[in-house]
Structure 1
Amino acid sequence: MDLKKNELKMGVVLSYISTGLNMGIQLVYTPIMIHLLGKSEYGLYTLVGSVVSYLSLFSLGFTGAYLRFYARYHVEKDYKGIARLNGMFLLLFSVMSLAALICGMILVQYPRQIFGNKLTMEEIRIAQMLMTILVINIALTFPSGLMDSMISAHEKFLFQKLLSLTGIIFNPMICFPLLLLGYGSVAIVCVTTFITVLKLFVSLWYCLKKLHTHFIFSKLELSVLRQISAFSFFLFLNMIIDQINWSIDKFILGWVSGTGAVAIYGVGAQINSLFLNFSVAISSVFAPRVNRIAAENKKDMNNQFTKLFIKVGRIQFLILALVASGFVVFGQYFVTEIYATQEYVQAYFVAILLIISVMVPLTQNLGIEIQRAVNKQQARSVIYFVMAIINILISIPLARTFGPVGSAIGTAIALIIANGIVMNIYYHKAICINIIDFWKNIFQLFRGMVIPVAFGCFLMIFVEFTNTMSYLFLVVLYTTIYCLSMWFLGMNDEERHLVLQPIERIKKKYR
């Protein structure tokens, strides 16, 4: 049990290290990539990526189903059932991978119909090359995602996160010299695909040799397949909706404004995607525990879920509030002087709108795992479907009038209504999580926000950033004030203990 707890803690720590490193690399690498590619090609690269990402829908939501059904067999110690489950999922994902590949290659033949008339002939030619390579890459992510789920089910987070870290480090290390040599966006997607292949083979080796994963392809239970399909349908619907909400703005802008507007929105969306990673870093590590609690189905299950929901939510908020508030204060200078140029100033407002609108769902990200574990994700699918329709209806006219910022406003309105209001009611009424206690705990953290917010407002009104060194000094100062304020006014004893525990271990080791 202690070994599993250490693996869990190490997984959380490595998740945040991986996320922080990824953010650091992106903050350095993306501005260079934008400069070397140019606004037009970077916008094209972003647009093609958002379109090809729709092929991930061929997974039909089955990736999210694996952990739930594995937990059921594992609790019952039915190892043959696990092997049959593995065989069934491998067959399913192989078919899905092939279907995505075939469909993607067909789409490659119709670039003008997909991207509209705003692209030049040269942009169309590059778009076709990018699409071809990215289609192959996304087809490979299906079996790779299954291996990742198997490793996660065994709670081997150390290997999982180290593999992720390796990919994060090597991608820009290989891409950067190729960009300097003038190979452009095609080189970037080639490197991404190469790393996907390597990660797939390493994960497969780990599953077979270290986890001793077995696959049985005979006597597959159709009744189990029907249960998996019924469970996965609503996960699939969620995937469609997520794709709409996070990709439709770029698609709309590509049609009404061209690659320049897509590039501006893409910078804001890229910053938001780094922000999104902070919440996934911890909730993904707790997914096996959530599924185990659901599989055991004890009397205090809802109480266990509420405690875990509050515990993880508070930690999420502590980190997310620092990043979000810091970006509001320091983001404009960062976007226009460090990350990109003055012509990308709208990307700052795009990023703020997206970041603020996802604060609530990211703080409550563990709720998605809980919904899946108890098979009550259906209502969320319906709520998000309505949200996606609202997003499209609002974003089209706003994009025509206000460009990238208008698209972001449409997405923000839809997200705030669905996540800030409707989903919280659903958590309380249907999932039986004490959402009132949750928000009481979150509001306790707001005491620690008063001093850093006041300091941030002072900086925004009275301080003009003139050079990078003074800017970085104020960023560090703001972070220090935030941490001290939260330590004394916001955090509880358990959270302070989580911070002090590794420090005490290091002290004991070197005494």
Structure 2
Amino acid sequence: MKEQNSQLKIGIVLNYVNLILGGVVPLLYTPIMLKILGIEEYGLYKLSASITSYLALIAFGLGAAITRYLIKARTEKGEEEERAVLALFIVIFRVVAVLALIGGSVLALCLPLWYSESISAVELTRMQWLVILMAFNTAVNFIASPYISIVNAHERFLFLQSMAIMGTILAPCLNLVALFLGYASIGLAVSSILSTILFRLLFWGYVRSSMKMKPLYKRMSKEYIVDVVSFSFWIFVSNIVSQLYEATDAALIGTVPALATTGVAIYSVGMILCGMINTINAGISSMLVPKANKMVFNGASTDELTDTGIRVGRIQALIIALFIFGFITFGREFIYFYAGEDYAISYWVAVVCMIPISIPLVQSFFLNIIIARNENRFRALTYLFIALINVVATWYMMKWIGVFGAALATSIANFIGPGFIMNWFYKKRIQLQIGRFWKSLLNIYFVPSILAVLFLGIGKYINYYHIPYFIGGIFVFSMLYVSLQWLFIMTDYEKELVKGLINR
């Protein structure tokens, strides 16, 4: 237990290190990448990535099941059963990897049917190669999924976060090498494959040598397979929804001749900035998956689950609120320096999507609970219904107000589904105390709201487009945010956690 707590604490520290690097590295890398590629080539690359991302659906939601069933096997039947479960998923994902390669080839052949009117023949050929290369990268990720999950299930957060930090640094470096050698988007795809293979080999070696965990190939019962598939099905439906939200907008924008690759590039930059919130949250959320599973399997009460959700949610909200309100205040200038004036609309794309996304992010522990309890059906069906409406709304709003219309439709859908409906579900079906949860979190947003209004007002007299004022404004905003939250909002538990992290 002491070792696990130590791993968790060190993992949290390394997660914050990775967050800092994840903010600094893109600031240095992305402007260079955008300048070398150009807006159309970048748009082509992101469009290819959006289309290829649909191959993730081939896994049928099994990726989210691995950690749960590994923990369940070890808790209920011991290490031998865990090794058998690991072997089962290794076999499954090898098959899935082959299917991904076949699916990628089919997608590449079908591209002219969808984009011949909006993209030139030369770009289409390059796009076909990009899809094939990205499909291969997806297949490698599938093969490695069981090994990553076993490391997470054993809460080896030191290794997990060390790999994350290495990836944050190495991947952009390889990309820049490819770009400076003149390989453009094709070079980016190849460098991604190389870094993926390297890291997956490291995970394989760690599991076999350090954890001494070898798969045990034996025949699993039919009932067990049915249980895994039944659990995974609703995760699969949720994954379909994720694709409809995250990839379909770009795919639809690419079919409109007036928008095409340029529109995809502008939209993608906005979504990258919005996605930084997911990155900020993902490290903490992933480390809580084993904890949520253990609490559920050990019969934790709804009071205990709500209390844990509040503690985690407040920490996540303190971090996310700084990012969102800071971006609302300084985002226009940031995009100007970060990507250039051609991407000005990306500010509104990012802002309109950031706000609703923050709702499920601060409740990520609750999502882990319903997955652990195998009660994901309602969420999956709700999200699917909302997402289908979102696709239709995106198509018409995109033609009405362009790229911003696509973002606005997605934002409204996120308010309805993850916002209102899921909070009702958490309260009525899971019996969590949602009113107490939000009452505990709302005061966190008071300080950044006041600061955003104040600094936007100051911006009428001080030009943040001058780098010294821009950097100075962000610094003062951040210092005031931290100081005021510490003095008036943060609890003793949160202060002690910060002190402990700093001391460690």
TM-score by length of structure 1 reads 0.95
2:331 maps to what in 1? 331
Contact kept in structure 2, 1:19 and 1:278, CA below 8 Å = yes
**How far is 1:102 from its partner?**
1.1
1:252 maps to what in 2? 252
SS of residue paired to 1:358: helix
Instruction: Tell me: CA distance 1:351–1:149, structure 2 relative to 1, closer, same or farther (3 Å).
Output: same
**How far is 1:347 from its partner?**
0.5
CA distance in 2, matches of 1:358, 1:450: 17
**How far is 1:8 from its partner?**
0.7
1:230 maps to what in 2? 230
CA distance in 2, matches of 1:420, 1:456: 28
Map 1:94-173; keep pairs closer than 5 Å. Answer: 94-173=94-173
1:421 maps to what in 2? 420
SS of residue paired to 2:177: helix
CA distance in 1, matches of 2:132, 2:165: 27
CA distance in 2, matches of 1:482, 1:471: 16
1:390 maps to what in 2? 389
Paired positions, count: 502
**Which deviations, in whole Å up to 9, do the C-alpha atoms of 1:233-282 show, x marking residues without a partner?**
00011011001101111011101221111111011011111121111111
1:270 maps to what in 2? 272
CA distance in 2, matches of 1:70, 1:56: 21
CA distance in 1, matches of 2:402, 2:216: 53
CA distance in 2, matches of 1:456, 1:233: 48
SS of residue paired to 1:403: helix
CA distance in 1, matches of 2:166, 2:465: 36
1:509 maps to what in 2? none
2:284 maps to what in 1? 282
Instruction: Tell me: CA distance 1:406–1:447, structure 2 relative to 1, closer, same or farther (3 Å).
Output: closer
Contact kept in structure 2, 1:455 and 1:478, CA below 8 Å = no
**How far is 1:80 from its partner?**
2.1
Contact kept in structure 2, 1:144 and 1:199, CA below 8 Å = no
SS of residue paired to 1:109: helix
Structure 1's consecutive aligned runs of 4 or more residues displaced over 6 angstroms after TM superposition are none
**How far is 1:116 from its partner?**
4.2
- AA partner of residue 371 (structure 1): I
Structure 2's unaligned 5+ residue stretches are: none
Contact kept in structure 2, 1:445 and 1:489, CA below 8 Å = no
- AA partner of residue 473 (structure 1): G
SS of residue paired to 1:255: coil
CA distance in 1, matches of 2:346, 2:380: 30
2:76 maps to what in 1? 76
**How far is 1:445 from its partner?**
2.0
Instruction: Tell me: CA distance 1:328–1:470, structure 2 relative to 1, closer, same or farther (3 Å).
Output: same
Which of 254, 260, 263 is 1:261 aligned to?
A: 263
**Which deviations, in whole Å up to 9, do the C-alpha atoms of 1:373-402 show, x marking residues without a partner?**
111111100110111012112111110111
Instruction: Tell me: CA distance 1:144–1:473, structure 2 relative to 1, closer, same or farther (3 Å).
Output: same
Contact kept in structure 1, 2:86 and 2:146, CA below 8 Å = no
Bigger mean CA deviation after superposition, 365-374 or 300-309? 300-309
CA distance in 2, matches of 1:332, 1:273: 17
**How far is 1:450 from its partner?**
5.2
CA distance in 2, matches of 1:276, 1:333: 22
SS of residue paired to 2:92: helix
1:343 maps to what in 2? 342
Instruction: Tell me: CA distance 1:82–1:116, structure 2 relative to 1, closer, same or farther (3 Å).
Output: same
Contact kept in structure 2, 1:302 and 1:433, CA below 8 Å = yes
**How far is 1:447 from its partner?**
4.1
CA distance in 2, matches of 1:459, 1:180: 41
2:398 maps to what in 1? 399
2:293 maps to what in 1? 291
**Which deviations, in whole Å up to 9, do the C-alpha atoms of 1:181-213 show, x marking residues without a partner?**
321011111010001111111111111111121
1:10 maps to what in 2? 10
SS of residue paired to 1:462: coil
CA distance in 2, matches of 1:358, 1:461: 29
Bigger mean CA deviation after superposition, 310-319 or 354-363? 354-363
**How far is 1:71 from its partner?**
2.0
Contact kept in structure 1, 2:321 and 2:445, CA below 8 Å = no
**Identical columns (%):** 29
2:188 maps to what in 1? 188
1:440 maps to what in 2? 439
**How far is 1:287 from its partner?**
0.6
1:499 maps to what in 2? 498
Contact kept in structure 2, 1:449 and 1:486, CA below 8 Å = no
- Does residue 211 in structure 1 map to residue 211 in structure 2? yes
Q: What CA RMSD, in Å, does the superposition of the two structures yield over aligned residues?
A: 1.4
2:48 maps to what in 1? 48
**How far is 1:459 from its partner?**
2.9
Structure 1's unaligned 5+ residue stretches are: 507-511
CA distance in 1, matches of 2:381, 2:20: 34
